[in-house]
Chain A
Amino acid sequence: MAPGYWIIALLAVPIVGALVCLVKLRPRQVLAVTVAVSAIGVAIAVRLGAMVLSGKPVTAVDGTFVVDAFSGFHLIVLALVFLICSLFAAVYFGDDDDAHPFSHGAARRFGVLWLGSFAAMVLVLISNNLGIMWVGMEATTLLTAFLISFYRDRLSLEAMWKYLLICSVGIAFAFIGTIFTAAAVQGSGEGSADALLWTRLAAPGLHLNPTLMTFAFIFVLVGYGTKVGLAPLHSWLPDAHSQAPAPVSAMFSGFLLNTALYCIMRFVPPARNALGGFADGLLVFFGVLSILVAAGFIVFQRDAKRFLAYSSVEHLGIITLGYGLGPLGTFAALFHTLGHSLSKTLAFCAVGRLGQRFGTHDMDTLSGALRHDRLWGLALVGSILSLIGAAPFAIFMSEYQLLRAAAGAQRWVVLAVFLAAVSIVFVAALRHLIDMAFGDPKIAVSQRRARTASYAVAVPSLAVLLFLGLWLPPWLIEAIERAAAVVGAPV
């Protein structure tokens, strides 16, 4: 099969899956379709990733779709997150109750929106044209809105409306930035037909109008940054994450936010060409601000899902900061992306499952979780230890590399603020974790055997996180280095 067909296949499989879900399937069959589609997605993404991470970019449809090392890396993480979340959805929705029924209609709605948003995210990652990338990003907003209000109660509708309005306006701003970018190419007298192709915009020799590129980057950063959840544009994020069903929250934090950050990063190489260090300065500023703001909120959280949502603001801030700190920082950012996506997905699965057992996400009531549910309690402990950067998990390694990058760039203030904020989060989150996992049980919960699918979600994820913290295989280092070279600042 020609390499380009793999790209088409990756886009087509979730679309076909979504259409299949429209047919009258039973709820269990819908869940099986989502798992099957995600598994096929992982297989294709890994195949595609292996091609681009060791060689040249792959193109399809006359260069409309291009996958290079940077998008290949993101595609693999996306597919993995979707597979874990789909498996977990089978566990989560398999135990529906009267208050939250998973009826035929609800199942169909879930299948279509779930796989539709998978396809939209794939479209974002494979588009060479920044306009089509924008269309994909807007599509993710519209499709995922109804996943937040899946149970249609008051709070989830409120969260959905905030998400819809704030992110739509944010994405509209990103579009203004995209128009500015096209104008910056044309204003310099270069040809206009392919003004929006990032393969062209990233070319070092291209002259861009600096005034217009400045406006472009600011609008793009603020616009897509709203969806990333960068402070102070993050106000929708904790509401949406706390109200959505757990598999949806896991997918949001696990990859949707990264998709928006991916969009920003496609504008960084042209912005660097035209404006020098301006773009990196803004990335560092928003990254540090997000880490600080999130640290403040994490201390006072009482709801486990809101706590995890603020932790996502923190980690997306860390990744953004890494991208602004040169090649080593970019490497750390990408490694952190992998570690964070896996840890956060697992953490939301654990909190979601425990929440289902306890009937609440209140951290006081979740007390003694480890005693009630060995598997998910252990998953909670492992994933949160990983998230706060405890050794020897993967995130410890990526944060250590980020510190090295900051020291190497002699950004001492950034380094100090980062260390202080991460320490606050460490202490606060550890306190939350100890209360939840090891505290005295507040309510009686019946013991239940975990399903096989639960083990399939929790055990491999934990094992990978631990493994990556202990040993980073040479092929993975090389793959991340190649991906980092696409968007990393020159030495």
Chain B
Amino acid sequence: MPGLLATIHVVGLLTCFALLGTSRIGACIRFLSLQGVLFSLVPLLTQDDGLTMRVFALAAANVALKGMIFPAVLLHLRARAGFQREVEPYIGFVASILFGIAALAVSLGLARELHPALSHAPFAMLEAAIFLISIGLFLIVSRRNALIQVIGYLVIENGIFVFGAITVVETPLLVELGILLDAFVAVFVMGIAIFHISREFGMADSDRLNTLRG
């Protein structure tokens, strides 16, 4: 199903640009969940030796987690902490989009370097994985709002998920479940952290968190 994979690739990359150019946190959460669901389908489309129950269960768990549970938790947090927008990012939205274009070019170059060693992995997905990881990192360092930093972390998780799905043919189910569980717990832990921070500081802008130095 190369057509479907190409669609996921294109729409997935567009969600990254949307995340880079949006200030509204609600919209960011929805873009993130669309991205999560799309990339959860990758293992279903890239398995050579047919769909096993295991691959199917993994994809289903991922869709549920990234399409429903994470957005619900994040939206709930947004409501509790009462923030709507990323007001003053360290790097502006236009500059962020420009960074995205540059990151896309670098991802293409890196994927070309890596592809000979990972010849069984679809090239487009390899490039998408590198791109997602770089965008996630960029969101963490370029935004002040703690909730967007969590979104950045989850974009990295999406990238790692794609990378794992296309490069490693067979990992034990136990490991996969453990990783999903960790992502799940991480979101909750970060959520609770944001809740405490917003209660103590009045808001969860991480630039208020700059007393400790040296």
Contacts and interface: CB of A to CB of B under 8 A. Distances in A.
Interface of A: 129, 131-132, 134-135, 138-139, 142, 145-146, 149, 152-155, 157-162, 164-165, 168-169, 172, 175-176, 179-180, 182-183, 186-187, 192-193, 195-196, 209, 211-212, 215, 238-239, 242-243, 297, 300-301, 306
Interface string B152-165: 01001100100110
Contacts of B164: 179
Given A160-B193, A164-B189, A164-B190, A129 B172 contact: yes
Given A129-B172, A161-B193, A142 B186 contact: yes
Contact of B182 (A138, A176, A242): A138
A135 B164 CA distance: 15
B212 A159 contact: yes
A215 B114 contact: yes
A29 to B, nearest CB: 26
A169 B167 contact: no
Nearest to A214: B117
Given A179-B163, A195-B168, A212-B117, A172 B157 contact: yes
B52 interface: no
A145 B190 CA distance: 10
Contacts of B178: 131-132, 135
B201 interface: yes
B186 A183 contact: no
A168 B186 contact: yes
A161 B182 contact: no
B52 to A, nearest CB: 14
B170 interface: yes
Nearest to B167: A183
A129 B179 CA distance: 13
Interface in B170-199: 170-172, 174-175, 178-179, 181-182, 185-186, 189-190, 192-193, 196-197
B200 A168 contact: no
B157 A161 contact: no
B117 A161 contact: no
Nearest to B169: A192
A192 B197 contact: no
A187 B169 contact: no
B12 to A, nearest CB: 18
B189 A196 contact: no
B149 interface: yes
Contact of A239 (B118, B182, B212): B212
A115 B11 CA distance: 45
A132 B175 contact: yes
A135 B181 CA distance: 9
Given A165-B153, A209-B117, A154 B214 contact: no
Nearest to B137: A169
Nearest to A183: B167
A145 B171 contact: no
A64 to B, nearest CB: 8
B196 A157 contact: yes
Given A169-B153, A172-B157, A157 B193 contact: yes
A154 B153 contact: no
A157 B197 contact: yes
Nearest to A187: B117
Closest 8 CB pairs of A and B: A131-B175, A135-B178, A158-B209, A239-B212, A211-B117, A183-B167, A138-B182, A182-B168
Interface string B121-157: 0000000000001000100100000100100010011
B167 A182 contact: yes
Contacts of A154: 200-201, 211
Nearest to B116: A211
A297 to B, nearest CB: 7
Contact of A172 (B149, B156, B192): B156
Nearest to A182: B168
Contacts of B168: 179, 182-183, 186, 192, 195
A132 B176 CA distance: 9
